[in-house]
Structure 1
Amino acid sequence: MRTILFLLTALILWLPGRAQQQTTDPGWWKRNNLRVIQTNLPDYEAATLNPDSLVTDLVKFSANTLIINAGGIMAFYPTKLPYQYRNPYVKRDFLKDVVAKCHQQGIKVIVRFDFSRVHESIYKAHPDWCYLSPKGERMTNPGMYTVSINGPYVQQCAFGIVSEVMDIYPIDGIFLNMPGYQVNNTYEGRYMGIDQNEYDKKRFAKFSGGKALPVEENKADNLYQQYLAFKKFTLDEWGKRLYTLVKSKNPQAAICTYTDQYVDIIRHETQAVPTLPLWPYSAADNVNNAGTTFPDHIISNASIQQISFQSRYNAIEPEEISIRLYQNMAHGSGLDLSMMGDTRGYEDERNFKTIEKIYGLHKKYEPYFGRYTSIAKIAVIAPGSWPNGTPMQEYRGIQQILQEAHIPFDIIEDNQLQNRGDKLKNYKVIILPDITFLNDGGVKQLKAAIANGTNLIATNIALNDNPALLSQLFGAKLKSLTNDAAGNYLVPEDRAIFKNFRGQTMLFMKYNLALYDFSSADKTGLPLLAKGRTGPPEIIGGHDVTGDKMMAIKQHGAAEAVLLPFNAGRLYYNNGYQEHKQILLDVLNNIYPDAGKQLITNAHPKVETVLQQYAKNTPANKINNNGLILHLINLTGVSSTSYLPPLPVYNISLKIKSGYKPARVTDLLNGRPVKFTYADGYVNFTADRLDDYKIIVMDK
């Protein structure tokens, strides 16, 4: 009898893994046709969630992938593990039914794990597993404690939890929420510092040859740079172990998270931000950044429905979610949406019709999404994957200027330049917005690109952690790094470069500017005027020439490197005055006159134009280039503080550099042919009316 029971138990444990191998398609995520809906379930909804109604709604929304809670912070299934807190509202195995019913409808199921926190009952038993700030504080949320990555919970228990779930359910993938080292209490917006847990101390000492953990995040500090290398090493090592475990159980299970190593799907997020100005290009930013930086991965950018962590039950406006989802598709990602809880009894259903419309559009025209190749000749370097602070403002302002000028550009993360040398040398211009530090590999690749003929524009205090590089690239020697520019003016006196300032001889300044000795530069410009006198009109004036210049150009063979030591991007991002936009565009056009010639249009600046080379996304298509595809996204409804319905835009003339005469030009969404002419390598046509979104296909 014992032998029979043993064999039956072994068979039961073996069957789920066997079922996974039989019911999933090889590399199902690689088609890049994801239409994800995530139900972020509060604990109490485990008692009421109805698998039948959930799957009915997913089908109605045209979703092909579900992300749903499984374990980590708490188990949404009947766990048997002592170190896994079980959700007390789980009275039945609803997860089993959800997976089965989704599979019946051809919907993949990715289960969510969050190993960043443990329930207080686990903390009380194992306080040494948890985060400890430099001040000796714990990072907590009600009833939860943040863990330390190098402690036993993450290093050992997490693998047991993943194994248990994969042994029970024939899932199609796992999603890891909040991986990595925690320095912020994200849900409270509070910075707490580098984790000083004993497990972290011991492991860093072993990694560094006995050094103590840093307590301050300072990129210019060698110890902190070593700590960054330590974080990468430990995260990669953990990710590799998890990847090995998951793929050993089911090679066709996708791993999805926010990091790039040992994952199949890189996830990003577009969230509502309570600060102004609004940033309507968030999804475009995220997909462009991750997709260009990590071209061998599938990117899935999640539109987070909630307004904030404190207001999860209120959703963003339908117009905002439309822009996010359209940008996802236009820039080469699938669709991804994170909802708070079950689709039934939802507290804010205003977006449901919008979701149904856009997900249905993606399903209907699926062959035209997901297989794009960038045609951009300009790269903007991003200050990481989650930019913040003043570098973020500078970076966003640069993007906004290029977007409104309808100039195609790619985005690459600063710390990944070392891995993208193949791509960098093909750009005509690289823009470095206020990024002070590049690692040695990044510097090497930047120099190689310049030597290959790529021009460079850097702004504000970019590269100031490397004085030798500043001198080599720009002929610049620092005099003063931080100066409040309020009250200063620039003079656009060189009208051979600054051709668009008729009627203006002084351009106002604000924020920071750096002062340099540019005596080793080949050319200088933009004289700086002194602050002068403030007060009533009778006494103002005195804006004398200081002798400092706000532009330096140094020649490097066929390439030019330009330093603009003020906040060109931040000025435009926060204030919106056209003069700061025009400074950058004039400099860009001076060093690369063809910058605005890939796409020539009279479109309103708030019409986003995304031009890509495309290949039909069907299994049968082996051709990598079927022609060009142009996405037009109407942002005219983005107001100072609101997302409103966009105004129709009429008679948009478009001149697209194609290099071939198209076999046909089609307005994809209405199926009508578009009249066009072809001359001198350009396709010429008119988009008669743009409402919220339009796609024009130019087939070879």
Structure 2
Amino acid sequence: MRRQAPKINGETPFMPPFACSTIAHSAFAMLGLNCLLASSAFAEPPEAPWHRRPLRIVQTLLREPDVVGYDVDGVMRFVRESRANCLVINGGGIIDFFRYDSEMANPNPFLEDRDILAELSEACHKEGIKLLARVDFRGAEEARFRKHPDWFAAGPDGEPKPLQNGLRPTCFNGGYRNEYGIGLIRHLLETYRMDGVWYNSVHSRGACYCAVCQEKYRAATGESIPVLPDADDAFLGPEMARYRALKAQWGLEHLDRVRQAIKAFGDDRVLVGEVFGMFGVSVPLTGGIDVYTVSPYFDFLIGKAFLDDGQYPFLAGSTIRFLKALDPEKQAVLLTGAHRNSDRQIFEPPLELEGWLWEAIANGGSIWNALIAGSHPETFLDRRNPLATRIPFDFLARREQASMGMKPSADVKVYYSGATRERFSGGFAAAIQGAERVLLQRHIPLGFLTDNNFTDESLTGVRALVLPSAAALSDAEIERIRAFVREGGGLVADFQTSLFDEQGQSRGGFGLADVFGCDTAGEIKTTDRNFYQRIRRRHPVLASAGDTDILLNGARTLLCEIGADSGAQAICSYIGPIKSQPPERSWIGDADTDHPTIVVNAYGKGRVVYFANEIMRLCLEDGHPDFSDVLGDAIQFAIGGPPRIETDAPPSVHLALLENGAGAYALSLVNHTSAPWRPVRYRAPLEDITIRLDLGDRSLSDFEIWAADGPIQVERIDRCARIRVQRLQTFSSIAIYTKQNAP
């Protein structure tokens, strides 16, 4: 039976028949990313709520004058052309885009004698488009502040906090957020056919000394809030630790009140908010709201990552992997935009944005296209790239049922330690991204494992765990890591991993010393220039090192020692420094030391590699083969067997593997092969890529081509699926169906 190719822009791409009974065949799409099919084999029950399905969100963030002559038909035309299923529109808070009978209301001065929210909500309802109202209660202008000064944040002297961007700031306990704000949300949901609320700028920076906060702090501690200079450094110090913890609790209590108000209108009404915290530390800690802790309050999870936010093309995929680790059952949404976040009137380079979006989708993410330049593209000053998300949105729409229940399939998980991020943030983000970079370049299926979801179940199917300088670990975490390795799991760790407990208190040695086979000697050396490592013995972790007696060192190195009764092996040892000037004296007499920099150990049934330096950070910030190749070889050694994916694709092609737990997989390829500078203006197409996917105790039964730039062939070879991609321009995706092998 021939499956008809979908029509896109009125045209049908050429595709040969898909014969379900045939294992080895190919599919071809002449129009690039137009070979898009969905399969009921991936489907979850149809009653799954709308916010648990792939989301294709467009946000038009209105400026005050944009309401003049607001063109509802033009907005809906844009939503249809974008293939969006959800629209986010201004509601109220700082500026109200509707008329509201409240003394604290602040209606847009450009509002005409019409109700654009009523018109737009009716139009969206008729077309099956979900509509979210954007609210923002971070502060109010001076005139509204004077009506209820007790509702706002105060300094240590009880006086109002200084203006921030022209607004008097608020706190989580004050009446502005809880009486006025929640009242406004109720009014929006009572009056309009809104499907939920987008809570912008949830956080509240710094300490608040208003009467309510003082009373709540005194009730919890018996003391007054400490008075310190209003600066982030002081606020993040130990004197404010109790206040920070209570403030975070108050933030969750506020979100719970908001959520209850919304859910009173039905379980299908959603709350989602703008929260930071994957790599940034300052905003979550000073603002009291962290995506790490607030995810239970939101109906789907948002990660903000615009092109101008990050210099690495895998940040979009990294964001989705992180959100999936926080809560794999919720939709993970990349908040990005066709317009820049820093210079909001100007478009993002389209070719680079294309790869950015496919990175998120390949890892199981949804997309939020935030446009901050007018009501719809015809009104934009820059109209060069408004429909950048149309083809990715079309892909998500056509595979909606197929993608339900899909989660990252990981041979290796990168451990994300929230306690380390909070207490030892220097180099934290770089270490995690460096590990990711190596895994992506090696085409090893990866995911995140967060410490707040660290369970035995979270390690199911994981072959190796990577700890990027996870300095602060609890006793429970350490014991679970021990058990994982003891039963045959691999472990790769570096630098200060397990040297402190979850409160940041020194253990006086590694908590995982028995697993590493070594312990700290108590001294950290700065090794960022003219420092090296002596190769003591050849080993598989140096498989790519080549003909050399030394390796480069960098960043910082923790001096370590291997005990006399340890069975661990020192693969390399610390040298340094060998100064570079004058060159005649660029030598050292005795390069041997007793301080290993690479230690290999066997613990139970597992393989362990410990690096005394910051190798994972160096894989990102330096990238020299003595870091990236050695870390890659170490991870492969720790896995302890052949990789599940083998391919001849270059490192510039990122592979992502998803699975639904019922024997169905989605394998996607994103091509980042381009000129060595940003923004990407040219992407080099690749030919004849072969991928071998080991299916374990299952075998290939069928497949579908979801997206292709050219012919793709799939065939069964023993327990493997061999995929040949004859041409990869940007993105290809293949669904793999498997069946259980007979015993």
Could you tell me the TM-score, scaled by structure 2's length? 0.81
- How big is the shift at 1:397? 0.9
Residue 324 of structure 2 is matched in structure 1 by 291
- How big is the shift at 1:134? 8.0
1:180-195 to 2 correspondences below 5 Å: 180-183=203-206, 194-195=207-208
Of 540, 560, 568, which aligns to 1:516?
Answer: 560
Letter in 1 for 2:523: S
Of 293, 308, 319, which aligns to 2:351?
Answer: 319
Of 113, 126, 140, which aligns to 1:118?
Answer: 140
- How big is the shift at 1:652? 0.4
**Contact 1:458/1:562 (<8 A) preserved:** yes
1:623-634 to 2 correspondences below 5 Å: 625=662, 627-634=664-671
SS of residue paired to 1:204: helix
Call closer, same or farther: CA 1:539–1:379 in 2, change over 3 Å.
Answer: same
Q: Alignment identity in percent?
A: 19
Residues 594-644 of structure 1, C-alpha deviations (whole Å, 9 max, x = no match)? 3x6111001010101012224xxxxxxxxx635222101111137333222
Letter in 1 for 2:410: A
Call closer, same or farther: CA 1:221–1:108 in 2, change over 3 Å.
Answer: same
Residue 434 of structure 1 is matched in structure 2 by 469
Call closer, same or farther: CA 1:64–1:551 in 2, change over 3 Å.
Answer: same
CA–CA separation in structure 2 for the residues paired with 1:347 and 1:521: 68
Does 329-338 or 648-657 show the bigger shift? Answer: 329-338
- How big is the shift at 1:173? 1.2
Residue 96 of structure 1 is matched in structure 2 by 118
Q: Given the alignment of the two structures, is residue 165 of structure 1 paired with residue 199 of structure 2, yes or no?
A: no
**Contact 1:603/1:653 (<8 A) preserved:** yes
CA–CA separation in structure 2 for the residues paired with 1:586 and 1:108: 48
Residues 169-188 of structure 1, C-alpha deviations (whole Å, 9 max, x = no match)? 111111111223425xxxxx
- How big is the shift at 1:676? 3.6
Of 203, 209, 218, which aligns to 2:216?
Answer: 203
Residue 573 of structure 2 is matched in structure 1 by 527
- How big is the shift at 1:540? 1.3
**Contact 2:95/2:108 (<8 A) preserved:** yes
Residues 483-530 of structure 1, C-alpha deviations (whole Å, 9 max, x = no match)? 243211013333223121112322222222222334375423321111
Could you tell me the TM-score, scaled by structure 1's length? 0.85
Residues 632-690 of structure 1, C-alpha deviations (whole Å, 9 max, x = no match)? 11111373332223110111011111243323344333598843443341112311000
**Contact 1:292/1:411 (<8 A) preserved:** yes
Call closer, same or farther: CA 1:693–1:672 in 2, change over 3 Å.
Answer: closer
SS of residue paired to 1:368: helix
Call closer, same or farther: CA 1:556–1:576 in 2, change over 3 Å.
Answer: closer
Residues 241-299 of structure 1, C-alpha deviations (whole Å, 9 max, x = no match)? 22221111233212212431222111111123467xx2111121111111122123222
Call closer, same or farther: CA 1:412–1:176 in 2, change over 3 Å.
Answer: farther
Letter in 2 for 1:511: A
CA–CA separation in structure 1 for the residues paired with 2:520 and 2:234: 22
CA–CA separation in structure 2 for the residues paired with 1:35 and 1:425: 31
- How big is the shift at 1:45? 1.6
SS of residue paired to 1:41: coil
CA–CA separation in structure 1 for the residues paired with 2:316 and 2:545: 33
CA–CA separation in structure 1 for the residues paired with 2:318 and 2:637: 26
Call closer, same or farther: CA 1:417–1:663 in 2, change over 3 Å.
Answer: closer
1:340-379 to 2 correspondences below 5 Å: 340=372, 341-343=374-376, 344-379=378-413
Residues 166-221 of structure 1, C-alpha deviations (whole Å, 9 max, x = no match)? 111111111111223425xxxxxxxxxx5555543432333345374596779998
CA–CA separation in structure 2 for the residues paired with 1:261 and 1:297: 10
Does 78-87 or 662-671 show the bigger shift? Answer: 662-671
Letter in 2 for 1:279: Y
Residue 54 of structure 2 is matched in structure 1 by 33
Does 671-680 or 540-549 show the bigger shift? Answer: 671-680
CA–CA separation in structure 1 for the residues paired with 2:496 and 2:208: 30
Call closer, same or farther: CA 1:656–1:139 in 2, change over 3 Å.
Answer: farther
1:59-70 to 2 correspondences below 5 Å: 59-70=80-91
CA–CA separation in structure 2 for the residues paired with 1:297 and 1:223: 37
Q: Given the alignment of the two structures, is residue 412 of structure 1 paired with residue 446 of structure 2, yes or no?
A: no
**Contact 2:125/2:193 (<8 A) preserved:** no
SS of residue paired to 2:658: strand
1:378-397 to 2 correspondences below 5 Å: 378-382=412-416, 384=418, 390-397=427-434
1:289-688 to 2 correspondences below 5 Å: 289-309=322-342, 311-340=343-372, 341-343=374-376, 344-382=378-416, 384=418, 390-414=427-451, 416-418=452-454, 420-424=455-459, 426-439=461-474, 442-443=477-478, 445-466=480-501, 467=507, 469-474=511-516, 475-481=518-524, 483-497=526-540, 498-519=542-563, 522-523=567-568, 524-542=570-588, 544-594=591-641, 597-614=643-660, 625=662, 627-637=664-674, 639-659=676-696, 660-669=698-707, 674-688=712-726
Does 238-247 or 66-75 show the bigger shift? Answer: 238-247
Does 551-560 or 283-292 show the bigger shift? Answer: 551-560
Q: Given the alignment of the two structures, is residue 47 of structure 1 paired with residue 80 of structure 2, yes or no?
A: no
SS of residue paired to 1:354: coil
Of 246, 250, 265, which aligns to 1:249?
Answer: 265
- How big is the shift at 1:338? 0.9
**Contact 2:97/2:108 (<8 A) preserved:** yes
Count of paired positions: 651
Of 83, 92, 109, which aligns to 2:104?
Answer: 83
Letter in 1 for 2:526: N
Q: Given the alignment of the two structures, is residue 106 of structure 1 paired with residue 131 of structure 2, yes or no?
A: no
Call closer, same or farther: CA 1:319–1:675 in 2, change over 3 Å.
Answer: closer
CA–CA separation in structure 1 for the residues paired with 2:213 and 2:482: 36
Call closer, same or farther: CA 1:248–1:39 in 2, change over 3 Å.
Answer: same
CA–CA separation in structure 1 for the residues paired with 2:48 and 2:197: 14
Call closer, same or farther: CA 1:643–1:224 in 2, change over 3 Å.
Answer: farther
Does 206-215 or 361-370 show the bigger shift? Answer: 206-215
Residue 153 of structure 1 is matched in structure 2 by 176
Residue 167 of structure 2 is matched in structure 1 by 144
Residues 38-69 of structure 1, C-alpha deviations (whole Å, 9 max, x = no match)? 11222222234311110111001111100111
Report the RMSD for the aligned CA atoms in angstroms.
Answer: 3.0
Letter in 2 for 1:597: P
Does 227-236 or 280-289 show the bigger shift? Answer: 227-236
Letter in 1 for 2:360: N
**Contact 2:607/2:637 (<8 A) preserved:** no
Letter in 2 for 1:592: I
CA–CA separation in structure 2 for the residues paired with 1:678 and 1:221: 59
SS of residue paired to 2:57: strand
SS of residue paired to 2:427: helix
- Structure 1 unaligned segments of length 5 or more: list them: 1-24, 184-193, 615-623
- How big is the shift at 1:445? 4.1
- How big is the shift at 1:461? 2.5
SS of residue paired to 1:286: helix
Q: Which has the higher contact order (CA 8 A, sep 6+)?
A: 2
CA–CA separation in structure 1 for the residues paired with 2:214 and 2:202: 19
- How big is the shift at 1:411? 0.9
- How big is the shift at 1:547? 2.9
Call closer, same or farther: CA 1:209–1:437 in 2, change over 3 Å.
Answer: farther
CA–CA separation in structure 1 for the residues paired with 2:551 and 2:412: 26
